[in-house]
A and B are shown apart, each in its own frame.
Chain A
Amino acid sequence: MHRFANPARFMRIAERLLPWVSGATGLTLIAGLYFGLFASPADYQQGETVRIMYVHVPAAWMALFIYTTMAVASVSYIVWKHPLADVAAQAAAPIGAGFTAMALITGSLWGQPMWGTWWVWDARLTSVLILFFLYLGYMALVNAFDDPERGSRAGAILALVGFINVPIIKFSVDWWNTLHQPASVVKMDGPAIDNSMLIPLLLMALGFKLYFLVVLVIRMRGELTARRVRALRLVEADV
């Protein structure tokens, strides 16, 4: 890992890959939209509303994936002082909050026609709402200190404490009686949905993941530049 610990070297590699990953993101999302909106059948129970699943489920996966990424980055920030770890965690947080909001809103738009309600306070929905507030709290906390170093530390600790919520979300549908349906893709005995629906789902999931990488690298570059600006201003004030 420490081959990438040099910020300058990391950014050089990341920026060389960025155009390729951006192109792959666009192609994957277009293919996912085509299969999701046109080239897949309606569900025998959900009818056409199943199409909402092709954005709702990948967005919810991203909400958990990005928080997990932040928790891992926070460990390497606290334990090894990896110089890019807090940059990555802070750059990832707004993207994670965005995906969590998408999951909540699209879920609501599916819940109204299928469950007959926009919202219920069941374990899955409530724990995802808490995840959304954790993202917002993290972003507020990181920026609440005059000394950015202290903000990074406080944020890293919040990200780690909040990580307990991730397995709670994942297993909420098994541990409690929820209105939300249990897992149908990531299961011990293989996915329980037909390939015609699995294809758009996985394409959108891949597209979202690539999109995350693109926006993450852009935001990390911005944050690294901001740190240089801060350092230069200190020097300027010093002289």
Chain B
Amino acid sequence: MGGYGAFIWPAYGIVAIVMAGLLVAAVRGTRARARDLAALEATGVSRRGNPPQSKGSDGDDA
């Protein structure tokens, strides 16, 4: 690297670290929220209230 390796490799390194970090954080965050949702749905809560009382169509999840 013509004597400039000490500047070039850290530059590529920091790019790799930030990009990998953003990707991993996004995937982890999304999975954690999917788990929250699954846990809530398992308790029987739905957007329209609990099963017996149907409040009509206020849901947007078509």
List residues of A whose CB falls within 8 A of some B CB. Answer: 6-8, 33, 37, 42, 47-49, 51-52, 55-56, 59, 83, 94-95, 98-99, 101-102, 105-106, 109-110, 112-113, 211, 214-215, 218-219, 221-222, 225-226, 228-229, 231-233, 235-236, 238-239
> Knowing that A51-B8, A214-B23, A239-B45 are A-B contacts, what are 4 other residue pairs whose CB atoms are under 8 Å apart, sorted by A's residue number?
A6-B60, A99-B18, A218-B27, A236-B45
Q: Which of B30, B43, B49 contacts A222 (CB 8 A)?
A: B30
Give the CA-CA distance A111 to B26 in the complex, in Å: 32
Residues of B within 8 A of A211 (CB): 19, 23
Residues of B within 8 A of A51 (CB): 1, 8
The A contact surface, by secondary structure, is helix
**Interface size, chain B (Cβ < 8 Å):** 39
**Contact at A226–B15, with CB atoms within 8 Å?**
no
- The residue in chain B whose Cβ has the minimal distance to the Cβ of A214 is B23
Q: Which of B10, B11, B47 contacts A56 (CB 8 A)?
A: B11
**Contact at B23–A6, with CB atoms within 8 Å?**
no
**Contact at A102–B18, with CB atoms within 8 Å?**
yes
Give the CA-CA distance A8 to B59 in the complex, in Å: 12
Q: Which of A102, A215, A229 contacts B33 (CB 8 A)?
A: A229
- The residue in chain A whose Cβ has the minimal distance to the Cβ of B34 is A225
Q: Closest approach, in angstroms, between the C-beta of B57 and any C-beta of chain A?
A: 14
Residues of A within 8 A of B36 (CB): 225-226, 229
Give the CA-CA distance A99 to B36 in the complex, in Å: 30
Residues of A within 8 A of B37 (CB): 225, 228-229, 232
- The residue in chain B whose Cβ has the minimal distance to the Cβ of A51 is B8
Give the CA-CA distance A47 to B2 in the complex, in Å: 7
Selected A-B contacts with CB under 8 Å, 22 pairs: A6-B62, A48-B8, A49-B8, A94-B22, A94-B25, A99-B18, A101-B18, A106-B15, A109-B8, A113-B4, A113-B7, A211-B23, A215-B22, A219-B30, A222-B30, A222-B33, A225-B36, A229-B33, A235-B47, A235-B48, A236-B43, A239-B50
- The residue in chain A whose Cβ has the minimal distance to the Cβ of B22 is A98
Residues of B within 8 A of A228 (CB): 37, 47, 61
Give the CA-CA distance A169 to B33 in the complex, in Å: 37
The 5 residue pairs across chains A and B that have the minimum distance between CB atoms = A222-B30, A48-B2, A225-B33, A106-B11, A218-B26
If A113-B7, A225-B30, A225-B34 touch, whether A106 touches B49 (CB-CB below 8 Å) is no
Residues of B within 8 A of A33 (CB): 12
Give the CA-CA distance A59 to B46 in the complex, in Å: 43
**Contact at A226–B33, with CB atoms within 8 Å?**
yes
If A56-B11, A215-B26 touch, whether A235 touches B46 (CB-CB below 8 Å) is yes
**Contact at A109–B10, with CB atoms within 8 Å?**
yes
Give the CA-CA distance A102 to B27 in the complex, in Å: 21
